[in-house]
Every structure is written in structure tokens, then in C-alpha cells.
Structure 1
Amino acid sequence: MSRLTVGPGITLFKALAGDAVLQAALAVIEASPPRKMLTPGGKAMSVAMTNCGPLGWVTDRDGYRYVSDDPSTGRPWPAMPAPMAELAAAAAEASSFPGFVPEACLVNLYDTESRMGAHQDRDERDRAAPIVSVSFGLSARFRIGGTSRGGPTLSFVLDHGDVLVFGGPARLAYHGVDRVLPGRHATLGAQRINLTFRRVT
């Protein structure tokens, strides 16, 4: 594991997340299978997603928001497994964001055709807390810029087990996934899982 300062408020930990966190994520996926949600404009996202924790992020024709129950089942989202929450808190602490207790974990499932356009994470009231992102499976080319669209960006590859933390001056940075790199992971095959931990309220 190595720690890299990518930019102000942005820290990358290479190969920090281990198998216990991956197995916990797979259990969440089994309990609440990812699905391709609709954007407010009615277009299906290219990334399938689900959630765990007290709150889950959803999108549909009514907009982007956090809800306590899975709209597809009417039941609460799965509880956030301890290995996942503990990793997120430890990575935030090591990035100078102590006391991070995530309320939501978005579980994004990518295939080799999936993309995530540049966006800001701004549906959370608590923006003092960072975003913690964990990658498993196939590598992906990630891009992050500043707080205004169209400014300079940095691009780098996120590999299996990498953990990225961004907050403070980078909390509202535009970011996205340009592409998933081709290949086959021993456990996940031709897929990538991204866990995104957020403090909402």
C-alpha cells in the first residue's frame, strides 16, 4: 500500500482495500442486486447500482435524492457491513478528515462499456465530510478536475483495491470515469465494482 497526494484535498491509497471488504460488497450485491436507474431525463444510466447503509442515493424522473428504502422493494437498504465502514473511516482519517461516519455507500457495478460522466457530488447536506471511493475488479481511468466545469483535469488509473479520498477544497470537484480498461479479474471477471461512501445529513 502506498499513499499519493494527487492534489489539494485528494489522496490516493494504492491497494489498501482487501478481500474482506470485497466479500462484504459482494454480500450487499447479493442482498440488493444492482440495477440501471433512470436519470431525470428518462435515460438509463450505463452503470448499474445499489446502496447499503441508512440512506441510499437514487435517481429517477423525480430527480436525484437520498431515501431510506429501496424503491424497487419498499424495504430498507442492506446494512453497511462493518469492514466497509471501517475502511472508509480509516482512509478518511489518514487523509486528514477524522471522524468520518458514512451514512450511505453507493455500490456501482461497471462492465467494459460503462462510463460515468463528469459530475459533482452535491446532493449531500454535509459537505465538510469527504467522499471515499473504493475500486475492485477491472482497472478504470478516472478523471478529476476543479469545482467548475470545463477546467483543467487530472487523469489516472484506479486499480483493484485502490482507495481515493477527496474533500476540503476538492469536495465539489467534477469527476468521472472515462472508461473501464479491458481484461478479466480473477474474482469479478469483466467487471468493476466501485464503492462510494458519503456523509449525507
Structure 2
Amino acid sequence: MITTANFKKQIAKPFGHEMRRYNFKGTGFEYFQETEDYLIAVTIDPSRWGGSCSAGFAIHPKQIDKDYDGKRDLSKLKVYQYEFKMGLTDYARGEWWDYADEESANLETLTKIITSIKEKAFPVIDLFKQKPNILDEFDVSEMENFHKNWTKRTGVTIATTGMRFAWAMTIIFEIKNLYKAKQFASWGLSNLEEGIENWFGKEDFDRVLATKNGLQQMHL
């Protein structure tokens, strides 16, 4: 069975050609697109054990410029640091494709991967780009069964926790919709489990809830 490096060599050119048709830029297994509001990535993800790969996509709202370890330079953000990382299926582990020894078989696999990206990732990316977007429409009441409701809306899984998502929504809407930001901050505070009372996002929940209408401030 061929190595990941050889698999990448065989599929890199046609993968890049197809991604550039949709205004993505990049090389190898990672392709990127930037809008006014988001950093967007589409990736092929090789198995750490070799022999196979999966694929996915990630979206990072530009309002989120910090994390647990401080400020983040968005121009240097790695895909694994993007806030919303998603697969291409409605089940957690996702679909995996085996490498083959023959280049023709690997190109057929690439065709399947690209088809999956077009059918699963691109429609969700469009949900983020449209107005109102998916985050505008996502209601705090959906946090009760967050992962189920996210997949119901998008058809794919998201690799985050409900608490982390509530924090992200608090930051995203702090400036443009304080009422919505407070709803998610309140949900976050009321769902902090014992032992994580000092979780880094708590100070953002507290700060946003203490902000008065008309006195919104940029987050630190």
C-alpha cells in the first residue's frame, strides 16, 4: 500500500484544480477561502496510522480572535484552530477512504471525495454566507440537544462542545446583537459543570451579561 506522501502526490494536482474552480486557494491537502466574515478551509485528512484518509471542512468567524491561551493572529491561524470544524457525514467518525497501489484507483477515490465535499460541505458553507446566516438563525433553545440540532440543520457533525459553541456565539453576537449574545452567555453560565467553574470562557459570559444595552464594548 502506498504512503500518504505518494497518495498526496497523485491527487494533489486534480484536487487543486477542482478547488480553484470554486475560488479556493492552497496546496496539497488544504484549500482556503476568505470572506468578509469568515476564514474557510476544505481539507483531506490522512489517518495518523497511514493507509487511508477522511475529509472535512472548517469555518472560523473573524469576530473570534482569542482562545484560552490569549489573542490569536487570524492571518496565522491553523485549520485545527478554526472554531467550527465539521465532517462530511451525519455521524461522528465520518467516511474514510483507503489508499490503493494503483494511481487510477486513487484518482477514483479523489472523485468520490470531491463529490462528497460538493454535496456536504459547500451547502453548509453557503448557509454561513447567506443573510441571515445559520448562526443568526440558530436559537438558544436548540442548545438543549445541540449536536442533534446542528446536524438536523446542516446534515453534518461539528467537532465542538455545547459550552464552547455557546461561548463562540456570545463573542460573535456581542457587538451586532447583544440580546442574542446574552441568551447564549446565560445558557453557558447555567450549564457550567462542577469542576470547570474557572473555564476561560466564563469571564466572557460574565462580561457580556453585565453589559448594558447601548454600552457595548469590544471584547478584550
TM-score normalised by length of structure 1: 0.23
Greater percentage in helix: 2
Higher relative contact order (CA 8 A, sep 6+): 1
Greater percentage in strand: 1
TM-score normalised by length of structure 2: 0.21
Query: Which has the larger Rg?
Result: 2
